[in-house]
Structure 1
Amino acid sequence: MAKKGEKYSPDPSIHMSKMNVVIPFSPDVPCDSSGQRMWWAFLASSMVTFFGGLFIILLWRTLKYLWTVCCHCNAKKKDVHRITTGDGIKRTDKEDAAASEVGWMTSVKDWAGVMISAQTLTGRVLVVLVFVLSIGALVIYFIDSSDPIESCQNFYKDFTLQIDMAFNVFFLLYFGLRFIAANDKLWFWLEVNSVVDFFTVPPVFVSVYLNRSWLGLRFLRALRLIQFSEILQFLNILKTSNSIKLVNLCSIFISTWLTAAGFIHLVENSGDPWENFQNSQTLSYWECVYLLMVTMSTVGYGDVYAKTTLGRLFMVFFILGGLAMFASYVPEIIELIGNRKKYGGSYSAVNGRKHIVVCGHITLESVSNFLKDFLHKDRDDVNVEIVFLHNISPNLELEALFKRHFTQVEFYQGSVLNPHDLARVKIESADACLILANKYCADPDAEDASNIMRVISIKNYHPKIRIITQMLQYHNKAHLLNIPSWNWKEGDDAICLAELKLGFIAQSCLAQGLSTMLANLFSMRSFIKIEEDTWQKYYLEGVANEMYTEYLSSAFVGLSFPVICELCYVKLKLLLIAIEHKSDQRESSTLINPGNHVKMQEGTLGFFIASDAKEVKRALFYCKACHDDITDPKRIKKCGCKKSKTPAYKRMRLACCFDRRRSKWERSCMPVIVRCNLDSPHRDIPLSALSVNDCSATLRASKNSYNGYIKSIEEDQQTALSPKKKQRNGGMRNSPNSSPKITRHDPLLIPGSEQIETMDENIKKYDSTGMFHWCPSKDIEKVILTRSEAAMTVLSGHVVVCIFGDVKSALIGLRNFVMPLRASNFHYHELKHIVFVGSLEYLKREWETLHNFPKLSILPGTPLSRADLRAVNINLCDMCVILSANQNNIDDASLQDKECILASLNIKSMQFDDSIGVLQANSQGFTPPGMDRSSPENSPVHGLVRQTSVTTGANIPIITELAPLAKQGKKVPVISFSQDKSSGTSIQMITELVNDSNVQFLDQDDDDDPDTELYLTQPFACGTAFAVSVLDSLMSATYFNDNILTLIRTLVTGGATPELEGLLAEENALRGGYSTPQTLANRDRCRVAQLALYDGPFADLGDGGCYGDLFCKALKTYNMLCFGIYRLRDAHLNTQSQCTKRYVITNPPYAFELVPSDLIFCLMQFDHNAGQSRTSLSHSSHSSHSSSKKSSSVHSIQTTNRANRVKSRDSRDKQKKDMVYR
């Protein structure tokens, strides 16, 4: 109101001194020129709408109630009348008409309900649109809040007013839909959203009519923010309860805060009505927001405060609710934000870079071992990102490990059992998924079940993903075959730790140290250079070697495998042990050490042992024209020569030549594949078949079978040996000038009685696959020995298995240990007797899987009892294996191996009277195949004399061959001894450990530091200790090349195939089968053995010769592929030593000097003659390698002059440089 006597200023703006309010207007706007405020008109429109509607609803409900009461009374009278008159049967059509009239109203109501309930796409769009427009109206309010509370505005010129008008028209229509859909109109009228519409929509229409704008209660649009969580749920953005709760709390807090700030802004800028609006103050909206925040937090700085009575009264009530809300909401919001998963994001794939997902048992130990091997520098640039997925957030140590590898490693918290988490890590685009198992769990079956469920979940989400999983128990592998999308051919692999662990230990019984060598080959180790001349120097040089694959150069096409192998070793400094070839049917086979009959083809993949992946590239880059005269292998680089092409008819062909009528399915299931070409008579085809005996051990990389066989005809026929040449070669067959076709014996062509040993249709001697020796099932009572029975048996050359377990212990699967020792590529007399010493209750549980294997015995007792150990003649055994099934039942890691360590120390401390003397004849490793064992001159027993006085610290049967050496004028090795009793330290042992650090307790005389890595410790280097942790490297090795796992599995398990695994899954026991050509052909496969150098055809090389010369001679003469040395620990010393420990040297260089006591690891072919001349010999006289190791105590062997060795080696080096490979 204007003061009395005050004239209105012609200025467009009227200044009201009392009210201190400016109502701006322009002359062209028909606004009240007197400056009178019209806020009451805006407020009245909202109040009339609200209360008017409320009155109408209540009036309607009252009339409806009265009408219902009246109709109810009339209905009762009509019902009574119908009952009395009997007219109740007649139904009037009026009721049906009324029902139909109600139907269309119900339809409209249902339609409106669907429109606002977001059940359809249209409804969702409408709900989201209303929310977005509400936020838009709120933004317009924020813009207009900078203007005076009330002002004159022209609707046709004010753009914001026009937009606000359009929004509110839409809100009015949406209000109508909500009103129609509401079941209870009264409660709908009192809803928050309805109140917001009442006080925001009508004032806009009043503004258009009065050409005035009143800011008023438009701030109530902020209450729409409460529905923010509902909108996000409609859009499927919020899915978890925590996220919904967090958004709800934040939206309620913010909407209340903004709404209260709008009310303070209104009253403080307007003033109190009863004070004639004279106590107003100018505050911006954001200052009011600040005022409300400091008020809710009870800070109250006092720089901004409310002056009006309405404002202060509102603050009194607001501070009660606001403080309670602030004190409860804010801490809960902070807690929810703090509890959000730190690793809950999603993986973003990088173009051109693959990624793998690793899940399962994610711990610091498992992850560090995996990353150490996967990201090793010896591999080529690993352009693969590793994504770890686990449902538990990493601890600080594991988090630090991830940060150190942040460029290639990411971690996400989640579970592979949740499809949402699988989508987060982009499992559908991953190159593979690796599942780690907890090797130390108390319940292996439960752990395997968990991993199988993970496989099912992943395969269900994406059937084509490649999965590599660890399994603890062998029998649980069968469950993976039940998964429809599990496909061995597509790269899916199950690494069974029990199968491989026991297989490694079993192979150590045949060639001690092999477990260490193989474990080092598939593990990535960095080269550690040692200048001192110690055993660690030579061991670590071998440790630096790994197994790689690379395609062979076209320069090798047409050459036989031994020639290529020799060329690679001598010229390229690479050790080639196997090749892979893909046939026309896209089936690939891996040939392990094939003979001269295999000719190389274009695009052949080779398996190499080398120290670096870059070195293996030499096999790919080698060119005869460019590199033939190069002596330094480092200079072999890629040249510009074009690759030669081989004719199509020379491609390798795969066929099952035993039965050409077999179907394709039957062929794919056969564990043995014999290459043949029965249709074509051409003799220039490099791979054809004539006889089964020329088969070489192969491997089915296509996973249909792990072993197959290939054979062909040698293109160049060689002449037979003359008698003089035979005599010079020690009477051995298959010399460099002999033909394999002539000297090898076909098991199908052995005439008369010679064939009885290998093929008998009436006796089942092998299992149905022909891979293992078999016998009818025996009751466990028949194999149980008492102490007296065991002592009277006089066991020798056997394997003693000391096992700890009881009724409650988890089964370790002893079948995986026995199967490699019962492989069919051994003759029956070569099988070592196995004696189990342990709890009978535990062994009864294992016997169900062992009762079909021959030569097994059980001595009930305990491995800690010396009486039990003496009863089984542990001092005369070839190998003593110490296992425990109770290791994972103890929480303390240091005590997990207590039983195995105590048993090992107990055996080593035992003393034995060596009164039995020499019981084993073949004491110095195996006799090379081809020696005529029936000849007295060539018999391994001939010329061997026993020492009458055994006085060394070992009970080793010492055998010295005198006659042949004396005839040649050589010095006779003399063995000296110093004790009358033998000690248990000379017994060959291998101990299984769970905790790597416990290896320090096995050898009391070593100087290993407790923190030393397992592969650097003396027990592991000597092959006397094995830990399951070394198998972790197989995960990354299998990912980069699944053929390596197949190669390792075949060498270790003795020939397990998927066919055999299927049979074991059905019956859990081996099934016997009659000897057929197919099953007998399965026997013809390579096996690992140890070759002694102290006498025999390689004795001259053992006395200071070069390893390279031995390699070439063994390969050319006997088709044996040497790949390592098992050497006495102190052999490098010139002084005598009592130590009998040996260590492993992998792939020595060409010029590596040999000593007579060395044992050579080699891949030897199956010898058909071995079973013919030894069938009548006792088992004790045919120990293959144990006595050779026991003879390692030879410490005073006289050797030639060291200067003569150097001179002869120099001449050999000069001759080698002049060699030219054509």
Structure 2
Amino acid sequence: PVGSCSSYEDKTIPVDLVFNAFFSFYFGLRFMAADDKIKFWLEMNSIVDIFTIPPTFISYYLKSNWLGLRFLRALRLLELPRILQILRAIKTSNSVKFSKLLSIVLSTWFTAAGFIHLVENSGDPWLKGRNSQNISYFESVYLVMATTSTVGFGDVVAKTSLGRTFIIFFTLGSLILFANYIPEMVELFVNKRKYTSSYEALKGKKFIVVCGNITVDSVTAFLRNFLRRKSGEINTEIVFLGESPPSLELETIFKCYLAYTTFISGSAMKWEDLRRVAVESAEACLIIANPLCSDSHAEDISNIMRVLSIKNYDSTTRIIIQILQSHNKVYLPKIPSWDWDAGDNIICFAELKLGFIAQGCLVPGLCTFLTSLFVEQNRKVTPKQTWQKHFLNSMKNNILTQRLSDDFTGMSFPEVARLCFLKMHLLLIAIEYKSLFTDGFCGLILNPPAQVRIHKNTLGFFIAETPKEVKRALFYCSVCHDDVFIPELITNCGCKSRSRQHVTVPSVKIVKKCMKGLSSRMAGQDSPPRVHASPSRVSDFTTRTFLHDVEQDSDQLDSSGMFHWCKPISLDKVTLKRSRKLKHKFRNHIVACVFGDAQSALIGLRNFVMPLRASNYTRKELKDIVFIGSLDYLQREWRFLRNFPQIYILPGCALYSGDLHAANVEQCSMCVVLSPPSKPSSSQTLVDTEAILATLTIGSLQIDSSSDSSPSVSEETASYTNGHNEKPNCRKVPILIELKNPSNIHFIEQLGGLEGSLQETNLHLSTAFSTGTVFSGSFLDSLLATAFYNYRVLELLQMLVTGGVSSQLEQHLDKDKVYGVADSCTTLLSGRNRCKMGLLSLHQTILSDVNPRNTFGQLFCGSLDLFGILCVGLYRIIDEEELNPENKRFVITRPANEFKLLPSDLVFCAIPFSTACYKRNEEFSSQKSYEIISEASQTTETHSDTNFPPTIYSVDETLYSPVYPYQSRTNSVSSAKQTAWNQIRTNSSITSQKPLGDNAKENGKKISDEISDEDPFAYSEPL
């Protein structure tokens, strides 16, 4: 009933009085604290107090209880979330949001039920209560909830006109309430249970934890590469630790990979969340970075803090992290629990990306060649032309590792590579060498010399299509497979099954032993590897030796022996002035177009320069580098570049042809357009705007080769754009563009000039990519999976693109403080005496001595037997001449053994450092001598006033030969040097060298302008 008589014996009345007395006191405090006293009376809480507090005291005085509008007290539930926050009962944003929604729904229901209860028990006033009905408050709540759900069972209904009118309007409001608040509450409740639960780590079940930049793009790229193995071979579950709930699109991805993925909401910065994902039991923790973020430094720092949090929680957890800027890497090895031996690894985007581009400058097309080995293509494309078929077939190859058969023990690398190529159709390019001595050399070697012998359990690196193919190198048996020449028949034989132990890839802890050997080698204590004497067939080619070569005295290297260096150079000395542009007639140089200003994030140009200054190129083979860009930006980068020789800066912009002409871009060997740093508010579609416009400007430059004042440049360009006997009338500037957004490739395709070519929006299926014109670092996301499954492939990639430096070597140098000059040829396997990639013609080089050379297999075996050169691919002219007026070339990775060669083909080769690739051709020398003498004398005169002139060679030192990128020489090695080199091979020993640091004083007078006590390899301090 709404009203009733009461007495003082009712115990509920004093309790009600106490509560209302408290509300009265609270009402007074609120009134005194209110700024606007008039507005205070119109607040909801004030209205509730006015209609609920006085009736209580009046009913106590009159001894008559009437409910009246006391149901409005239910609106006080709206204050419940704030009270819970003050009491710290709820802390998370989801719990606060859930409590607010719940308080709104409950207060609405209880208030509406109170009104229905009042009017139904009182009846309509104008009828004086004749249509009233006795209904309890519970029945009123039941009626309101049935109305809210729009069900309306009809067992309890409103009979009064006021009640029915209220139901009409309440039904409209309940539609909004039920349609919006209830589903949101359910979603919060379900998600709380779904994404805040703990991952149950089962014994024997492998899983990894992935955190960092968890977005649709990053997750898609990671899963595509991590799960590209066959379904039966995937036994590792992926636990994503995201700081925010997944979007609907991301949830869809997780549902598609439900068997392999689990998402848990949390942060790697909180130990409680790390405990919920059981990171201490994970195989590894992978941290993803966002390469398209506006602030790359902040992105790196946040990921480094995640590493620090994880290592503090569990120091034994293996970490694989993506870093955007190379100078931020130095913080990670300084973490006390960071352990290279445990498999901790760093994937630096700037280092790898700019390293790829640098390799494309040294050898045209090499950037595409290396990229194709790490790109997995799942799309089916139907080629229309023959060249497209060759390119797409070569895209199926990858870098794979496999333990070599014990039957190869004692054989030299060329012998094993030849046998694998002929019998198994496998291209072996490198091995992981482990010395038999405790402190001997241990590391990866590309195309080792014949003196290096294969040991047991040696790991080989192959270019092949499937892991099944490289298994043949493990199954090979010299007894059972001696007369087998069908690769498919080389399987696990019975005679080897009892004795052979199938050794899996050993733990990454072997790196510790490798670093010990490297440390001893750097200190001059390395024991040489086992050397085998074998006669070598030497054709009419030049072999450079470093035992007493005077050329070595002028090649100043850093402490690691990996890079050329010089004393620190001030920025003013290398800044080119427009008034002096006539003094800087660069030829065969590299032009790098850089975009950025004083506020832009650094892209790390040091990573671009280091491969171009690798020590396995002689000082005379180094190309001048001219950076075109904002002086304010390049001044910030110069701190990391000042110890590298032959670098110049031209203030300007690549969007203006005048600045390009000032850098003599017409006679450059390669023009690189680097994408600008990301801007905070830039669209992802517009991130490559400057690069595309610069490409348009450079592409519009037409160079008339007939009027070119530099015959060397025009002929060299002809060597890799045309056939060996063709002479173009005009050519375009060779260019290499970097794209941050791969979808922008269609803009570059429109500028390519090849009609009817590969019409694909996928960058790695485009014509520009096949010709080596464009590069994008988007595929670097796949290296996370590569580093987890097989870290050695990542080490090989770093060695190939960075000039020979790995992250472990950087850590070693930073730890031991080995600064100053270093001996560049301490041992056969150390320092600069390592292979370099090159592009050789089948004519006018030593490859012309290989006979027969009709197929790739014949060329491979001949070049390996005669010169120790490892052929790995081709750079072929696109055969549609009417559609290819510029005679562009495309890349063929690892052609088949029977692949027919064309006279105009260029060959990608791994060339030993001690091998010169030019034949001594006196007739060719006499034909070109007058032109080069004239040119050299004129150039020397014009450069007499400059501090750092471009490299110009006189005729007695240099003879141009149209083979890229090596410089031809007329001076041959003396007979004494040749005898010394032959003595090394026949005596089966390695003559130890006196470190260059010991000779620095003797040579100081000759090279005083180049020697400095500062080591540019100690570049790791950030700005």
Q: Is this a same-fold pair by TM over 0.5?
A: yes
Tell me the equivalent position of 1:574: 426
Aligned amino acid, residue 451 of structure 1:
N
Tell me the equivalent position of 1:1159: 906
Aligned amino acid, residue 467 of structure 2:
A
Instruction: Write the deviation string for residues 1130-1180 of structure 1: whole angstroms up to 9, x where unpaired.
Output: 2x87x9974321111111111111122222112222228899x99x99448
Tell me which moved more, 1007-1016 or 443-452.
1007-1016
Q: 1:625 aligns to what SS in structure 2? A: coil
- 1:876 CA drift (Å): 2.1
- Cα distance in structure 2, aligned partners of 1:856 and 1:392: 46
- Cα distance in structure 1, aligned partners of 2:959 and 2:187: 65
Q: 2:876 aligns to what SS in structure 1? A: strand
Tell me the equivalent position of 1:471: 323
8 Å CA contact 2:208–2:285 kept in 1: the answer is: yes
Count of equivalent residues: 847
8 Å CA contact 1:343–1:412 kept in 2: the answer is: no
Distance 1:288 1:427, change over 3 A: same
8 Å CA contact 2:515–2:812 kept in 1: the answer is: no
Q: 1:1073 aligns to what SS in structure 2? A: coil
8 Å CA contact 2:280–2:314 kept in 1: the answer is: yes
- 1:838 CA drift (Å): 2.3
Distance 1:604 1:957, change over 3 A: closer
- Cα distance in structure 2, aligned partners of 1:1000 and 1:805: 25
- 1:441 CA drift (Å): 2.1
- Cα distance in structure 2, aligned partners of 1:1057 and 1:410: 34
Distance 1:1076 1:497, change over 3 A: closer
- Cα distance in structure 1, aligned partners of 2:651 and 2:15: 96
Distance 1:51 1:431, change over 3 A: same
Distance 1:884 1:642, change over 3 A: closer
8 Å CA contact 2:429–2:462 kept in 1: the answer is: yes
- 1:776 CA drift (Å): 0.8
1:538 matched to 2:538? The reply is: no
1:802 matched to 2:802? The reply is: no
The match for 1:712 among 525, 530, 534 is: 530
- Cα distance in structure 1, aligned partners of 2:562 and 2:864: 26
Aligned amino acid, residue 842 of structure 1:
Y
8 Å CA contact 1:1114–1:1120 kept in 2: the answer is: yes
Tell me which moved more, 505-514 or 1050-1059.
1050-1059
- 1:990 CA drift (Å): 0.7
Aligned amino acid, residue 773 of structure 2:
T
8 Å CA contact 2:873–2:895 kept in 1: the answer is: yes
Tell me the equivalent position of 1:991: 737
The match for 1:1188 among 960, 963, 977 is: 963
1:621 matched to 2:475? The reply is: yes
- Cα distance in structure 2, aligned partners of 1:341 and 1:1002: 54
- Cα distance in structure 2, aligned partners of 1:288 and 1:426: 50
Distance 1:758 1:48, change over 3 A: same
- Cα distance in structure 1, aligned partners of 2:333 and 2:761: 40
1:1121 matched to 2:867? The reply is: no
Q: 1:489 aligns to what SS in structure 2? A: coil
Aligned pairs for 1:349-364 within 5 A: 349=200, 351=202, 352-364=204-216
8 Å CA contact 1:1103–1:1156 kept in 2: the answer is: no
8 Å CA contact 1:1104–1:1155 kept in 2: the answer is: no
Distance 1:237 1:589, change over 3 A: same
Distance 1:870 1:531, change over 3 A: closer
1:1148 matched to 2:895? The reply is: yes
Tell me the equivalent position of 1:730: 540
Aligned amino acid, residue 597 of structure 1:
Q
Tell me the equivalent position of 1:903: 694
Distance 1:255 1:889, change over 3 A: closer
**RMSD, matched Cα:** 5.5
Tell me the equivalent position of 2:185: 337
1:832 matched to 2:623? The reply is: yes
Tell me the equivalent position of 2:752: 1003
Tell me the equivalent position of 2:35: none
Tell me the equivalent position of 2:308: 456
- Cα distance in structure 1, aligned partners of 2:632 and 2:825: 41
8 Å CA contact 2:708–2:714 kept in 1: the answer is: no
Aligned amino acid, residue 654 of structure 2:
P
Distance 1:674 1:1072, change over 3 A: closer
Distance 1:819 1:664, change over 3 A: closer
Aligned amino acid, residue 758 of structure 1:
Q
- Cα distance in structure 2, aligned partners of 1:833 and 1:295: 82
Instruction: Write the deviation string for residues 754-784 of structure 1: whole angstroms up to 9, x where unpaired.
Output: 3543258xxx922222221111111111112
Distance 1:1087 1:302, change over 3 A: closer
- 1:1128 CA drift (Å): 1.4
Instruction: Write the deviation string for residues 1084-1139 of structure 1: whole angstroms up to 9, x where unpaired.
Output: 12221122212344226588611111111222222222211111122x87x99743
Tell me the equivalent position of 2:995: none
Distance 1:341 1:394, change over 3 A: farther
- Cα distance in structure 2, aligned partners of 1:333 and 1:890: 34
Distance 1:731 1:1074, change over 3 A: closer
8 Å CA contact 1:370–1:1036 kept in 2: the answer is: yes
Aligned amino acid, residue 474 of structure 1:
S
Aligned amino acid, residue 1020 of structure 1:
F
8 Å CA contact 2:300–2:325 kept in 1: the answer is: yes
8 Å CA contact 2:442–2:518 kept in 1: the answer is: no
8 Å CA contact 1:919–1:1180 kept in 2: the answer is: no
- Cα distance in structure 1, aligned partners of 2:300 and 2:958: 39
- Cα distance in structure 2, aligned partners of 1:1088 and 1:855: 21
Aligned amino acid, residue 530 of structure 2:
S
Q: 1:470 aligns to what SS in structure 2? A: strand
Instruction: Write the deviation string for residues 406-454 of structure 1: whole angstroms up to 9, x where unpaired.
Output: 3323334433334343344333332222222222222221221222222
Gaps of 5+ in 2: 1-7, 18-55, 57-79, 116-132, 926-935, 937-950, 967-1023
Tell me the equivalent position of 2:821: 1073
Tell me the equivalent position of 2:273: 421
1:920 matched to 2:712? The reply is: yes
Instruction: Write the deviation string for residues 248-274 of structure 1: whole angstroms up to 9, x where unpaired.
Output: 8999999999999xxxxxxxxxxxxxx
- Cα distance in structure 2, aligned partners of 1:446 and 1:839: 23
Q: 1:1115 aligns to what SS in structure 2? A: helix
The match for 1:1112 among 841, 846, 861 is: 861
The match for 2:240 among 378, 388, 403 is: 388
- Cα distance in structure 2, aligned partners of 1:385 and 1:958: 49
1:635 matched to 2:489? The reply is: yes
Distance 1:412 1:1186, change over 3 A: farther
Tell me which moved more, 1077-1086 or 451-460.
1077-1086
- Cα distance in structure 2, aligned partners of 1:484 and 1:395: 37
- Cα distance in structure 1, aligned partners of 2:229 and 2:651: 50
Aligned amino acid, residue 337 of structure 1:
M
1:757 matched to 2:575? The reply is: no
8 Å CA contact 1:363–1:398 kept in 2: the answer is: yes
Q: 1:608 aligns to what SS in structure 2? A: strand
8 Å CA contact 1:920–1:957 kept in 2: the answer is: no
Aligned amino acid, residue 1112 of structure 1:
C
Aligned amino acid, residue 606 of structure 2:
R
With CA pairs under 8 Å and 6+ residues apart, which has the higher RCO, 1 or 2?
2
- Cα distance in structure 2, aligned partners of 1:632 and 1:807: 62
Query: Percent of pairs identical after alignment?
Result: 39
Instruction: Write the deviation string for residues 686-718 of structure 1: whole angstroms up to 9, x where unpaired.
Output: xxx2xxxxxxxxxxxxxxxxxxxxx3220xx44
Instruction: Write the deviation string for residues 555-599 of structure 1: whole angstroms up to 9, x where unpaired.
Output: 323322222212222111222222225679799632322222333
Distance 1:988 1:911, change over 3 A: closer
- Cα distance in structure 2, aligned partners of 1:901 and 1:328: 51
8 Å CA contact 1:825–1:1083 kept in 2: the answer is: yes
Aligned pairs for 1:296-311 within 5 A: 303=155
8 Å CA contact 1:354–1:430 kept in 2: the answer is: yes
8 Å CA contact 1:1006–1:1018 kept in 2: the answer is: no
Tell me the equivalent position of 2:605: 814
The match for 2:633 among 826, 838, 842 is: 842
